[in-house]
Amino acid sequence: MDSSPPPLTLLEALPPELGEAYREVSDRIAAFPRVVVAYSGGVDSALVAALAVDRIGDRALAVTGVSPALAPHLREEARAQARWLGLRHQEILTAELEDPAYARNPQDRCYACKRELHGLLAPLALAADAVVLDGVNLDDLADFRPGLGAARERGVISPLAEAGIDKQGVRCLSRALGLPWWDKPAQPCLASRFPYGEPITAARLQRVAAAEDWLRAQGFRELRVRSQGETARIELPAGALPDVLARLAQGPLRLELVAALGNLGFTAVALDLEGLVSGKLNRDRSAATTFGVAALTLQPGAGG
């Protein structure tokens, strides 16, 4: 990644509505004396952080919550992006795993996670006379996001969503602003790899992170390793499946994959033939609610 800071000027014409939304968000951020950005390093929060450092400079602070649920490579990417932006960046340790409301992995697990994070950000913001911003976009409001409630309770502001900017708009703006990670795949926290009700521990999170790192080293950019008991269910983009299946059938990848994940403690490895579907965990939530828990076993690659 280039070490020079990005020129935060629009490099291409934006659709009129998106251009107006961009100006609205930028001007609103500029009006705050100081801001603390809940910054994961994802495309959404990175855009808010980029606009903040552009408009109010070192009066903007980006804070990343660090726990076993944050994949190590995402932590490094967040650091690199902050350096590239010339952004003040701080990491804080979060302890959501110590909360049974998180570790038991109920359907509102994300509420406990965001409650922990914003409980730590609030005093930081208060001490600096700052407001807390997050990267929630318009599409997030239509998804099952219990964590939004915890943010609202703390008075967190979501400038992208309030301006009507959706995920596509976030990527379009990020590209126009010269942010090289504009097409970075969505990468939710590692806890999203576990079916609701399956307990989450630091060791299990680290096992999933290591499995995904191994696959990433083989050249797979966009992926999930879903952990169901001791089975690793791999999701890759549907368009990549024909090539992957050919590689598994004709080359050493299959044996290497099984050995690598077996060494991590998985007893079975499955490839989800449906492909990677963002938000599949929430779809499973709906199926379980409607048809009973047994419906979950119909997912490709599940079971024993």
* Bridge partners, 63 (sequence order): 38, 90
Residue 175, token pair as written in the block: 């590209």
Q: What is the pTM of this model?
A: 0.87
Buried b or exposed e, range 105-124, using 16+ CB within 10 angstroms: beeebbbbbbbbbbeebbee
Q: From 176, 210, 243, give the residue that closes a domain.
A: 176
User: 78 lies in which domain range?
Assistant: 16-176
Mark the ranges of the chain whose per-residue pLDDT is less than 50.
2-3, 287-304
- Residue owning tokens 């089975």: 231
120 in the same domain as 211? no
Beta pairing class for 88-93 and 35-38:
unpaired
Kindly state whether residue 2 falls inside one of the protein's structural domains: no
Which positions ≥6 away from 90 have C-beta within 8 Å?
Answer: 61, 62, 63, 64, 124
Q: From 176, 202, 220, give the residue that closes a domain.
A: 176
224 in the same domain as 118? no
Contact 229, 268 (CB under 8 A): no
169 in the same domain as 33? yes
pLDDT tens digit sequence for 5-27: 555 555 557 888 999 999 999 99
Whole-number pLDDT of residue 291? 28
Whole-number pLDDT of residue 187? 87
132 in the same domain as 161? yes
24 in the same domain as 138? yes
pLDDT tens digit sequence for 183-198: 999 889 999 999 999 9
Kindly state whether residue 205 falls inside one of the protein's structural domains: yes
Query: What's the burial of 294, exposed, middle or buried (CB within 10 Å: 0-12/13-18/19+)?
Result: exposed
Contact 229, 217 (CB under 8 A): no
Contact 102, 109 (CB under 8 A): yes
172 in the same domain as 194? no
Residue whose C-alpha is closest to residue 89's, from 99, 97, 79, 98: 79
DSSP-assigned states of every residue in 147-186: HHHHHHHTT-B-HHHHTT--HHHHHHHHHHTT-TTTTPPP
Contact 53, 78 (CB under 8 A): no
Contact 58, 89 (CB under 8 A): no
What does the alpha-carbon distance between residue 282 and residue 119 come to, in Å, rounded to a whole number? Answer: 25
163 in the same domain as 47? yes
Residue 155, token pair as written in the block: 């008075």
57 in the same domain as 120? yes
Whole-number pLDDT of residue 249? 82
Question: What sign has the CA pseudo-torsion 178, 7, 132, 205?
Answer: positive
Overall domain count for the chain: 2
Contact 303, 297 (CB under 8 A): yes
250 in the same domain as 126? no
268 in the same domain as 220? yes
Residue whose C-alpha is closest to residue 76's, from 113, 40, 121: 40
155 in the same domain as 56? yes
Residue 149's CATH number: 3.40.50.620
Residue 301, token pair as written in the block: 């690659």
Kindly state whether residue 3 falls inside one of the protein's structural domains: no
Three-state SS for 84? helix
Q: From 152, 176, 200, give the residue that closes a domain.
A: 176
24 in the same domain as 69? yes
